[in-house]
Amino acid sequence: MSATAGTPVRRPLRALLTALHATLVALLAAALLAAPQASARETAAPTATLTEITNFGTNPSSLQMYLYVPETVTEHPAILVAVHYCTGSGPAMYSGTEYASLADQYGFIVVYPSVTRASKCFDVASPQALRRGGGSDPVGIKSMVDWTVNTYDADTSRIFATGISSGAMMTNVLLGDYPDVFAAGAAFSGVPFGCFATTDGSEWNSACAQGTITHTAQEWGDIARAAYPGYTGPRPRMQLWHGTADDVLRYPNFGEEIKQWTNVQGVSQTPAATDTPRSGWTRTRYGGTGDQAPVEAISLQDVGHNLYSYGVMGPMAIAFFGLDEGGTAPQPPAGPCKVTVATNAWNTGLTANVTITNTGTTTVNGWQLAFTLPTGQTITNGWNATYAPSSGAVTATNASYNATLAPNASVTIGYQATHTGNSAAPGAFTLNGTACTTG
């Protein structure tokens, strides 16, 4: 029967249901496509606990990844990669350093790579490790960083690395391989990038460990730059720590690292500033004088390979990175002493009278006053104490007649020095290893 004008068309029920089903399917598909995907954070690591992350990306040497996320994470957080020593592990680095508690305080995320090979040492020697994207451990660590950036929408301009011993060597390697990824590093008892290089499959380079491999600053810089040929962008800043009595990775490596990273940064090997943040420590800064200088180097007198000190060095590394938001490295608390200095300068020389006051309640029997002369100053003679060395980090030792300093008593010592333009007085003093107030 044919339809006539004005008569409604009655579709069969089956056709109507089919059309309705197709419409619903199309609407549902559109809604699914338009809906935002589940945030990666919803399936990320729990907070305030160390968590192993698996399937984090390309991992040619089967490293393990451990992650610490504080309860309160800043928006677009920074990332710190904390690399363990030989025989260590990610969990050992977590429990043996204060980076997790610092993350709680400042809201950054910590990645702890962990070696699975028998030696538990990182590969800092193979040709693969010393080339960007070449393979081995650096590629796995880069994957950890990428996973964390993608999962937490991290700030790619604030990614840092630090490590101890083998981890310090890996810190050097990471900054050489991936200068476009890492903003800065802090290496505790390490060696320069490329110093440990081998081609026979060995993980150990005795010549480097013994401190017998030396190069010019330009040569060291070229070795680091060769890891990423053609890269012309900014280079990461570096903080270096080493003990003068290190018998595992000997102290000459410290000077070679300074040569390498000052050259990489394009700054002078002459320190822009020198001070003594603690007794026996000499800190030199290159290319700048603040807490975030291009290169900072801390030498620890008579300290061996295991120099890392919980509660002191970690915060100073964090300040160097700028992760403490204020950028001011913690200084030792002022002790029961006060030092005042009066200087009289002329065009090439000066005299300084230094008054030490015992503000404590017990008598000091025998004292040493440590301070750092400004760059360019050299002591030519002194009185009421002996001074050694004559420049840089100086220690003044009492004379036989003024070794005893009773409570509220003072002693005045002094020295004459030459200078090359900076006639300022030292800015910080420690008495028998304890910081004094100045005034």
Residues marked as catalytic: 165
Tell me which H or E stretch contains 90.
helix 90-96
Backbone angles phi, psi at 322, to 5 degrees: 85, 15
Structure-block tokens of residue 363: 């008598």
Q: Please give the radius of gyration of the chain, using alpha carbons only, rounded to the nearest integer.
A: 30
Residue 394 exposed, middle or buried by CB count within 10 Å (0-12, 13-18, 19+): buried
Nearest to 169 by CA among 146, 147, 200, 198: 198
Q: How far apart are CA 176 and CA 160, in angstroms?
A: 13
Helix (H) or strand (E) holding 406: none
Note whether 376 and 274 are within 8 A (CB).
Answer: no
For 140-204, what is the HEC assignment? HHHHHHHHHHHHHCCCCCCEEEEEECHHHHHHHHHHHHCCCCCCEEEEECCCCCCCCCCCCCCCC
368 beta partners: 397
- CA–CA separation, 146 vs 61, rounded Å? 17
CA distance 87 to 92: 10
420: nearest Cα among 347, 351, 341, 343: 347
Residue 121 tokens, joined: 């040492």
Burial, 279: exposed, middle or buried (Cβ in 10 Å; 0-12, 13-18, 19+)?
Answer: middle
Instruction: Please give the Cα distance from 293 to 374 (Å, whole number).
Output: 17
